Amino acid sequence: MSLPLLFVGSAAGVAALLDVLLSHDRTLDQELSLSAPLLFGFAAALSMLSANHVRWTFRWQRRGLRFSYPLLMLVCALALPGLELPVVAALTVGPVAFALLAALLVRAYQDCDLPECTRA
């Protein structure tokens, strides 16, 4: 469930780092413009692809959240034309989100048994 939001945070951090490294005036008090349809569109795709791998504890979660969570990401992609973030905030959130995303993916890989992975 946290995979799409960690992706958005990581992508914002990478974009802020590239903006600081490649800009002519290297100030941290500027705003970072991100494409919300691109970010949240990919987040919606990630949430749809990873919905089968979530261990839902209740039936209402499986029925309600499995489809409404990607739909919420898709609505954000269509409703927000652009996303403005301070570079300092994106540089602060980005590495933390990237570290959590890497830990999540490593843990998912280690927890995966070979017959179970090939079946999914």
pLDDT for the residue 119: 52
What average pLDDT score do residues 86-104 get? 91
Residue 118 amino acid letter: T
Q: What is the pLDDT of residues 58-90, one digit of tens each?
A: 777 777 777 788 888 888 888 888 888 898 999
What is the pTM for the complete model shown? 0.77
Closest CA to 5 of 81, 86, 65, 93: 93
Give the H/E segment covering residue 83: strand 83-86
Q: Please determine, for residue 38, whether its predicted confidence score (pLDDT) is greater than 80.
A: yes
Residue 101 amino acid letter: L
Whether residue 81 contacts residue 13, with contact meaning beta carbons closer than 8 Å, is answered with no
Closest CA to 44 of 78, 82, 87: 78
Task: Give the span between the Cα atoms of 83 and 18, in whole angstroms.
Answer: 16
Pick the residue with more confidence: 47 or 13?
Answer: 13
